[in-house]
Amino acid sequence: MTPLDWTVLFVTTAFIVVWGIFRYRGAHTMEGYLRGGNSLRWPTIGLSVMATQASAVTFLSVPGQGYEDGMRFVQFYFGLPLAMVVVAGVFVPIYYRMRVYTAYEYLERRFDLKTRLLGASLFLVSRGLAAGITIYAPAILLSSILGWPLYWTNIGIGAAVVLYTVAGGSKAVSQTQKQQMVVVLAGLVATGFVACGKLPDDVGVGDAFSLAGALGRVNAVDASFALSDRYNLWSGLTGGFFLALAYFGTDQSQVGRYINGRSVTESRLGLLFNGMFKIPMQAGILFLGVMVFVFHIFVAPPVFWNQPTLEAARASADGPKIALIEARWDEAVAARADAARAFVDARDAQDAAAEAAARDRLATAQGIMDATREEAKAAIVAAVPKAETKDSDYIFLSFALQNLPAGLLGLLVAVILSAAMSSIASELSALGSTTTVDYYRRVIRPDAPDSRTLLASKLFTVGWGVIAVAFATFASLLDNLIQAVNILGSLFYGTVLGIFLVAFFFKRVGGTAVFWAAVAGEALVVACFAFTDIGYLWFNVIGCGAVIVAALMLQTVLPSAPVRAPDTAA
Amino acid sequence: MNDAPAPRAGEDRSPPDDGPPPFLGRWRNVYLALIIAQAVVIGFLALLTAALSP
């Protein structure tokens, strides 16, 4: 990175952090700290909701996914707009009417304390572990590629977020997220223009689209149906809908973003803003990855994108074997580039037969490259046993490092740090508020004065920040656990959503029935995960449906649900 | 539009109402516009896929 890159990076991130601390410091009440005095307008809410979901991994991994797998991942978001309509129409007015600080507070009003604590516990476990990953994932990439010390990168990200989150509470989180999201979008658009501009002079954007299509990268919609297929139109519309409904409707890191709006209207508009722009934004980020793929048709890519690991493999006893594989890789890359030139020329000459022949050559060369890459990964693991073979997260940052002009690279790193901080801020804020409202104020110290509860909330936020940084620091030792944590989070959403949907739509079901139904639903989801190959998006449908059906069945054999008194909740 | 006053702190909480409010109400056209817009986006992506896939 050049001095200009460092200047852009430092000024951008430092401004947002310092501005967040000093502009919004001094929330003196729980209301001000947790709900920001309910002063936010819809643009802030909308950008805050988007920034919470889009972590740094989104901006590092998704272009890599577009490069490797094409645009099919965009189907993951197809159910989101409809989920936004349901959250805006059903969840938001209920949370406002109940005047809750956390989503789980509502569960006690509707059911009982044990159901509230069950919902809060599921959130704290899954989100508490995920918060560490939110810090660790960008830190490991930045340290690997830019040579930053991993330990200090983790601490730096965590400490900056804790400072402004504790200083200004929910309002500081939302307002800084608005700034961070602007940086993120500006950085991505600029990088997109550079990626398109880096194509050879005789390859236009139309040619690039056709080349990407010929190599299977323009696969945004797949209407075939298979339960084991992770991303297709049907899993996206159905499983994606339930996942988005659970995430935006019941996860406190999102609920905390929109219950602090000026009114129900502002919160609804913020959520609908997210529903309107989420699919185009994700399609744009995937398209960026596809353009990087087309760029590397003409500029030879490495056989393995994690350069430090590749270097280690080259230096090992298996180095000659790696060299042979790389030589075959170079041949296949050259063959693909030749076929691509022929394909573009045939398109320009409107020669359909030549175009079809070039398309076949392209596909053949790509097939050889794919097989060689798999062979290289196997050889790298044999040479460096601890090597992680998933290298797609390194693609976009490697492209940026080698091709972006001075200043823009600094902006892109600022984008990554901004995205990391915006997500971790929401998570820490939600973890702190849930611990305070659902445990401290409800179970541990119900009689504590507001000032003491506010102090406890800040301390809990700091505590969760320390846990997240500690987990991120030691995460490099726990690669399998990281994968387990990601799966763990996706296993809970269906069950929690089922609890909330029973609460909203089945008035005769009581707390005991829904509690045990949730336990049974969770057991079913875990069984599906352990014993079937069903794509994980479907777990949200299965868990939610199981809780609803089991709750209705259990309620027929249990005593009628007691009428809840309004003043029993915290 | 079906607006509501912002919640305020304190113990004076509204009594709970278990059921959801009227779902569509005056927001129906806004919701419909969002769904139609997203259907157009998905349709565009489907056409792009069909036109360019091998």
Q: Does the distance separating the beta carbons of A212 and B18 come in below 8 Å? A: no
Q: Residues of A numbered 35-54 whose beta carbons fall under 8 angstroms of chain B's beta carbons: which are they?
A: 35, 38
| Candidate from A20-24, A444-448, B20-24 with smallest mean pLDDT | B20-24
Question: Chain B residue with minimal CA distance to A275?
Answer: B34
Q: Considering only CA atoms, which of A226, A208, A228 is closest in space to residue A218?
A: A208
**What's the whole-number mean pLDDT along residues A521-550?**
88
A490/A77: higher pLDDT: A77
A404/A482: higher pLDDT: A404
A47/B6: higher pLDDT: A47
pLDDT at B47: 93
Q: Does A94 touch chain B (CB under 8 A)?
A: yes
> Is 60 exceeded by the pLDDT of residue A564?
no
Token couple for B7: 């919640």
C-alpha separations of A172 from A21, A156, A274, A468 in Å: 7, 18, 20, 20
Q: Does the distance separating the beta carbons of B48 and A38 come in below 8 Å? A: no
In the Cβ-directed half-sphere of A16, how many Cα atoms lie within 13 Å?
29
In DSSP terms, A261 is beta-bridged to A40
What ipTM describes this predicted complex?
Answer: 0.81
pLDDT at A560: 63
Q: How confident is the model at residue A57 (pLDDT cuts 50, 70, 90)?
A: confident
> Is 90 exceeded by the pLDDT of residue B26?
no
Mean pLDDT of chain A: 85
pLDDT at A294: 93
Q: Residues A322, A314: contact at Cβ < 8 Å?
A: yes
Q: How confident is the model at residue A5 (pLDDT cuts 50, 70, 90)?
A: confident
Share of chain A above pLDDT 90, in %: 32
Nearest by CB to A97, which of B17, B42, B53?
B17
Question: Chain A residue with minimal CA distance to B5?
Answer: A263
Nearest by CB to B20, which of A74, A214, A504?
A504
Q: Does the distance separating the beta carbons of B13 and A98 come in below 8 Å? A: yes
pLDDT tens-digit series, residues A551-562: 999 988 877 655
> Is 90 exceeded by the pLDDT of residue A117?
yes
pLDDT at B4: 46
Q: Does A358 touch chain B (CB under 8 A)?
A: no
Token couple for A537: 């998006």
* Residue from A87, A96, A505 to probe the interface with B (highest B Cβ count within 10 Å): A96
Token couple for A501: 């949907």
Q: How confident is the model at residue B37 (pLDDT cuts 50, 70, 90)?
A: very high
**What's the whole-number mean pLDDT along residues A333-353?**
91
Instruction: Report the distance separating Cα A62 and Cα A285, nearest Å.
Output: 7
Q: Does the distance separating the beta carbons of B34 and A275 come in below 8 Å? A: yes
Q: Residues A94, A422: contact at Cβ < 8 Å?
A: no
Q: Does A339 touch chain B (CB under 8 A)?
A: no
Q: Residues A413, A142: contact at Cβ < 8 Å?
A: yes
> Is 80 exceeded by the pLDDT of residue A458?
yes
A379/B6: higher pLDDT: A379
In Å, how far is B8's CA from the nearest CA of chain A?
7
C-alpha separations of A341 from A118, A129, A330, A338, A351 in Å: 60, 48, 17, 5, 14
Q: Residues A224, B53: contact at Cβ < 8 Å?
A: no
Please report the DSSP string for A36-47 in residue order.
GGG-B-HHHHHH
**What's the whole-number mean pLDDT along residues A468-492?**
68
pTM reported for the whole predicted model: 0.83
A136/A560: higher pLDDT: A136
Q: Does A264 touch chain B (CB under 8 A)?
A: yes
Instruction: Report the distance separating Cα A426 and Cα A199, nearest Å.
Output: 38
Q: Does the distance separating the beta carbons of A268 and B14 come in below 8 Å? A: no
* Residue A195 CB partners (closer than 8 Å, separation 6+): A288, A291, A292, A295, A399, A403
Q: Does the distance separating the beta carbons of B37 and A209 come in below 8 Å? A: no
Question: Chain A residue with minimal CA distance to B33?
Answer: A276
Q: Does A567 touch chain B (CB under 8 A)?
A: yes
pLDDT tens-digit series, residues A88-108: 998 999 999 888 889 999 999
pLDDT at A479: 53
Q: How many C-beta neighbours within 10 Å does residue B25 have? A: 12
pLDDT at B10: 46
Please report the DSSP string for B1-54 in residue order.
----PPP--SS-PPPP--SPPPSSGGGHHHHHHHHHHHHHHHHHHHHHHHHH--
pLDDT tens-digit series, residues A385-438: 877 777 888 888 888 888 888 888 888 888 888 888 888 888 888 999 999 999
> Is 80 exceeded by the pLDDT of residue A26?
no
Our CA dihedral for B43, A78, A212, A347, rounded to 10 degrees, sits at 0
pLDDT at B11: 42
Q: How confident is the model at residue A135 (pLDDT cuts 50, 70, 90)?
A: confident
Count A/B contacts: CB-CB distance under 8 Å.
133
**What's the whole-number mean pLDDT along residues A166-185?**
81
Nearest by CB to B38, which of A81, A109, A223?
A81
Q: How confident is the model at residue A523 (pLDDT cuts 50, 70, 90)?
A: very high
B interface with A, Cβ–Cβ < 8 A, is 1-9, 13-21, 23-24, 27, 30-31, 34-35, 37-38, 41-42, 45-46, 48-49, 51-54
> Is 50 exceeded by the pLDDT of residue B15?
no
Q: How confident is the model at residue B18 (pLDDT cuts 50, 70, 90)?
A: low
Token couple for A243: 């996942």
Q: How confident is the model at residue A367 (pLDDT cuts 50, 70, 90)?
A: very high
In Å, how far is B33's CA from the nearest CA of chain A?
10
Token pair 């569960």: residue: A107
pLDDT tens-digit series, residues A228-271: 677 888 888 888 898 889 889 999 989 988 988 889 999 999 99
* Residue from A97, A285, A355 to probe the interface with B (highest B Cβ count within 10 Å): A97
Q: Considering only CA atoms, which of A47, A57, A218 is closest in space to residue A133?
A: A57
Nearest by CB to A359, which of B15, B51, B54?
B54
In Å, how far is B7's CA from the nearest CA of chain A?
6
In the Cβ-directed half-sphere of A408, how many Cα atoms lie within 13 Å?
19
Token pair 């920040």: residue: A465
Chain B hits for A29, Cβ within 8 Å:
9
* Residue A239 CB partners (closer than 8 Å, separation 6+): A79, A535, A537, A538, A539, A540, A541
**What's the whole-number mean pLDDT along residues A280-297?**
92
pLDDT at A568: 35
Q: Does the distance separating the beta carbons of B52 and A98 come in below 8 Å? A: no
Token couple for A199: 């194509």
Nearest by CB to A78, which of B9, B18, B42?
B42
Q: Is residue B14 classed exposed, middle or buried when 0-12, 13-18 and 19+ CB atoms within 10 A define those classes?
A: exposed
